[in-house]
Chains A and B, each alone.
Chain A
Amino acid sequence: MSAKGVLKGYLLPGLPHILLCPEKNQNWMQVRKAFDRVREEIQTSGADILIIYSTYWPSILGHQIQADPSPEWVHVDEQFHDLGSIPYKFKMDATFAEVLKQKSTERGLHARTINYQGFPIDTGSVVALKLLNPNNKIPAVIVSSNIYSDRAETIVFGKAMADAIEETGKKAVILVISSLSNRLFTKEFNYAEDKIHSLKDQEWNDKFLELLSEGRLEDCSQLSRQFHREARIKKVTNFKPFWWLAAVMGQSNAYSGEVYAYAPLLGTGAAVAGLTPGVEKASDLEYDEENVEKYSGDRHVLDISTSIPKPTQDMPEMGPEYE
């Protein structure tokens, strides 16, 4: 079942090239055009809040929530400073931030709101808000990614967000800022010749793109640990964005999914993908449950006394003793 109030969820890359120099690579331009398309969808969606979970904003003391009503700065990326400066002025929903803090606390989490002039809003959030909400038509809230928080805590934090959306009655669009594979090239190179860092990264990205295109969000969540081992530099404890997104959106596969663009971005996997609740195109493709809302008993997956389906190409014949 999808969470109340969530209109749509998106996965977006966060490197500044999409904002500052998409023209330097034709595939980056496709990603930029996908952002443009997402902007149109969001601006006409009727959403009254944009909620951002950014893997570019680490925290240690619990979960931080941006609550400065009007943060303003000239942002420069710490690594890609030569691409230029990004002046910004955003509109945040400070009231919603306080509700989220309260809901997080009620669920046993340590959370706090952040409202300090000059606080460094991360590059991923800046890129998303500049491209998707250029006139600040829709107020936003940004939450951090706690570096020590693993699956259980991250999922509870997502549920706290769902609580806050429901309590406020907001219509929300959820933005998760993260690459898929995250291995950057470590030397300067000709941007026009960008490619995914390795074939293995590409194959894992393909698998996640397949799942996303089928709306299988919970399956992405379930595969996050494996994805972290296979296709991620271990900068943080784990790959969390799909845990959090799935928890906010209802922990199921009941979505319509679409991949708007996918391209190498300095070796990383940059995907723009959208998930729309309620269409339930893939709701019969649960990773390991038939129904995530109601327990319907043992599925007898190991019980040979029950009827065995006919073998398929994925399931070889087991032999006469099973018949």
Chain B
Amino acid sequence: MGQIIAGCLAPHPPHLVYAENPPQNEAKAECGWEVLRWGYEKMRKHLKALKYDVLIVHSPHWRTQIGTHFLGVEHLKSKSVDPIFPHLFRYNYDLKVDVKLAESIHDEAKKLDLEVKMMRNPDFRVDYGTIVSCHMTNPDWDVPIVSISSNGAAQYFSFDVMQAQMFKLGEATRKAIEASGKRAVLLASHSLSHRHFVLEADPPEDMSKEHITHHGQYLWDMKMIELMKKGKSKEMIEILADFDEQTISEANGGGLSWMMSAMGFPTYPAEVYAYGTVIGTGNAIVEWNHLEKGVE
């Protein structure tokens, strides 16, 4: 039987890829955001040893108000240019999609009355949230991905409605993975607090200018991380709406709620690899490892 072996909070600031200077990205940096990048290094090394078959990523930058969509084309190759930070992220991607697993999650979600759709257009450009989280987790791109959109229900209805939908989507994801026989790693692609600076340092990687936008956001980020470290994922999800309201959090896209549901709301401590800010937003790299904790 397949299983979720790990789930990770995997934020997607394009600055991290920019600072890594991979050959795929046209923009080049001197350095920058090392604490977060080194955190990703530790996480990817740890995950690699687990020998996973697929990365499943939920991204708030693929926004689809009419239901949840899944990439449904086996090979996608193009260039992703970040509409907000085009000077930092112009990334030539070439990726494989596990379409069969994506279809299976789609079908399971449909059984739970969720609105779902497969994306079959070969000209489709993959969003930068998906690409950054996947690149930072697996820069070799030697494992196929499943990419899931965010449906914006938190804005259209309420945070609670969004969470209810994400809990169902998590359940559908778990069932499909179990039926697939594969070892899957889930990625919730988002930051914690998300109030940006509206100006940028010159150069952008000038770390003397990098800090949290304000202390209140930092305190909230620390509260969330404390709950993660104590294994209190249900408590974390219960206060997520308040966290979102106070910090303009990117969790309103649903990634963390989806992932926690798929993983059955872990009660063991998560591994926090790093916390750092990017243009004022709070970002944590965190892993919940079912395999090591003996969760089946």
| Residues of A that sit less than 8 Å from B by CB | 57-62, 74, 76, 78-79, 81-82, 84-85, 110, 114, 116-120, 122, 146, 148, 183-188, 233-235, 266
Contact = CB atoms under 8 A, between A and B. Distances in A.
B165 to A, nearest CB: 10
B81 A116 contact: yes
Given A78-B63, A188-B115, A233-B155, A61 B125 contact: no
Interface in B32-55: none
18 contacts: A60-B84, A60-B196, A61-B198, A61-B200, A76-B125, A78-B63, A79-B66, A82-B117, A82-B119, A84-B121, A85-B121, A120-B81, A120-B125, A148-B198, A184-B65, A184-B66, A186-B65, A186-B67
A76 B198 contact: no
Given A81-B124, A186-B151, A57 B83 contact: yes
Interface in B119-172: 119-121, 123-125, 127, 149, 151-153, 155-156
Contacts of A120: 81, 83, 125
Contacts of A122: 83
A66 to B, nearest CB: 11
Given A60-B198, A79-B66, A233-B156, A186 B81 contact: no
A85 B85 CA distance: 24
Query: 9 tightest A-B contacts by CB?
Result: A85-B123, A81-B121, A118-B79, A79-B64, A76-B124, A116-B86, A184-B65, A74-B123, A118-B81
Contact of A61 (B65, B81, B156, B199): B199
B251 to A, nearest CB: 16
Interface of B is mostly: loop
How many B residues touch the partner, as a band?
Answer: 20 to 34
A323 B200 CA distance: 62
Given A116-B81, A183-B156, A185-B66, A110 B123 contact: no
B69 interface: yes
Nearest to A234: B155
A148 B196 CA distance: 9
A118 B83 CA distance: 10
B62 interface: yes
Nearest to B118: A82
Given A116-B90, A119-B83, A110 B156 contact: no
A61 B196 CA distance: 9
Nearest to A87: B123
Given A119-B86, A233-B155, A234-B155, A188 B125 contact: no
Contacts of B85: 61
Contacts of A185: 66
B261 to A, nearest CB: 20
Given A58-B84, A61-B198, A78 B155 contact: no
Contacts of B79: 117-118
Contacts of A59: 83-84
Given A58-B83, A76-B123, 5 more contacts: A61-B85, A82-B120, A84-B121, A117-B90, A148-B196
B36 to A, nearest CB: 19
Contacts of A119: 81, 83, 86
B83 A186 contact: no
A185 B83 CA distance: 26
A82 B121 contact: yes
Q: Which of A79, A119, A183 has the most CB of B within 10 A?
A: A79
B119 A81 contact: yes
Contacts of A116: 81, 86-87, 90
B183 to A, nearest CB: 30
A5 B64 CA distance: 39
Contacts of A117: 79, 90
Contact of B62 (A74, A78, A114, A188): A78
B156 A187 contact: no
A111 B268 CA distance: 47
Contacts of A184: 65-66, 156
A61 B279 CA distance: 10
Contacts of B120: 81-82
Contacts of A61: 84-85, 198-200
Contacts of B86: 114, 116, 119
Contacts of B121: 76, 81-82, 84-85
B258 to A, nearest CB: 17
A287 to B, nearest CB: 29
Nearest to A153: B198
Contact of A110 (B115, B151, B199): B199
A257 to B, nearest CB: 30
Contact of B64 (A74, A78, A266): A78
Given A119-B81, A119-B83, A120-B125, A186 B198 contact: no
A62 B199 CA distance: 7
A186 B156 contact: yes
Interface string B250-293: 00000000000000000000000000000000000000000000
Contacts of B115: 186-188
Given A82-B117, A110-B199, A235 B152 contact: yes
